[in-house]
């Protein structure tokens, strides 16, 4: 079903059976996310980020954000946080397929493309399935 949804933005994650976020590798070797735009992209190589990481921090969005937020109506609280991709970068992400109480510092997480609204998909991480 997710395959029928349009990505919320182009070139945010790879188009392959097991997609991954697209970051950038700076000339210094440092990994960044997202891949920079405009002049900042000069000398930055696209870098396929790891699909697995550990939970760095998290929270739940309990009130409906103002625009530019474009989530579905009626508003449903959602989880988000940061996932550390070992040796690469710590990425901010939506968190799906769990509840707030499940989340623990350092727990294993895995990448997933998740529905955002009726027509679009976004990226997320979820607790790794044992």
Partner 1 sequence: MEDVYIIGAGIHPFGRTDGRSGRDQGVFAVRQAMADAGIDWTDVGCAYGGSAAAGSADIMVNELGLTGLPFINVANGCATGGSALASARNAIAAGEFDVALAVGFDKHPRGAFNAKPREYGLPEWYGQTGMMLTTQFFALKIQRYMQLYGISRETLGRVAEKAFRNGVHADHAWRRSPVDLETILNSPMVNDPLTKYMFCAPAEGAVALILASGKKVRELGADAVRIASVAVRTRPPGSFEVFAPSVDIDNGGKPTILASKAAFEQAGIGPEDISVAQLQDTESGAEIMHMAENGFCKDGDQEQWLREGRTEITGKLPVNTDGGCLACGEPIGASGLRQVYENTVQLRGRGGGRQVPGSPKTAYSHVYGAPGLSGVCILER
Residue 81 binds to partner 1 (criterion: CB under 8 A)? yes
Task: Kindly give the pairing relationship between strand 52-61 and strand 120-127.
Answer: unpaired
Output the CA–CA distances (angstroms, integers) from residue 92 to 21, 39, 56, 102, 110, in the order listed: 11, 23, 9, 18, 13
Residue 71 binds to partner 1 (criterion: CB under 8 A)? yes
Residue 84 binds to partner 1 (criterion: CB under 8 A)? yes
In whole angstroms, the minimum distance from the beta carbon of 94 to partner 1 comes to 7
CA gap 126, 103 in Å, rounded = 10
Q: Please state the length of the chain.
A: 130
In whole angstroms, the minimum distance from the beta carbon of 17 to partner 1 comes to 23
- Residues binding partner 1 (CB under 8 A): 8-9, 12, 23, 30-34, 37, 56-63, 65-71, 78, 80-82, 84, 86-94, 100, 105, 116, 122
């Amino acid at each position: 079903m997710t395959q029928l949804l349009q990505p919320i933005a182009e070139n945010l994650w790879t188009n392959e059976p097991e997609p991954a976020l697209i970051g950038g590798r700076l000339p210094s070797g440092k990994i960044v996310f997202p891949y920079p735009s405009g002049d900042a992209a000069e000398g930055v190589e696209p870098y396929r980020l790891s699909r697995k990481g550990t939970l760095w921090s998290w929270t739940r969005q309990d009130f409906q954000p103002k625009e530019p937020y474009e989530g579905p109506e009626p508003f449903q609280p959602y989880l988000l946080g940061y996932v550390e991709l070992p040796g690469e970068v710590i990425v901010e992400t939506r968190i799906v397929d769990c509840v707030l109480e499940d989340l623990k510092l350092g727990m294993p997480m895995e990448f997933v493309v998740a529905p955002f609204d009726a027509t679009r998909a976004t990226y997320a991480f979820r607790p790794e399935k044992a």
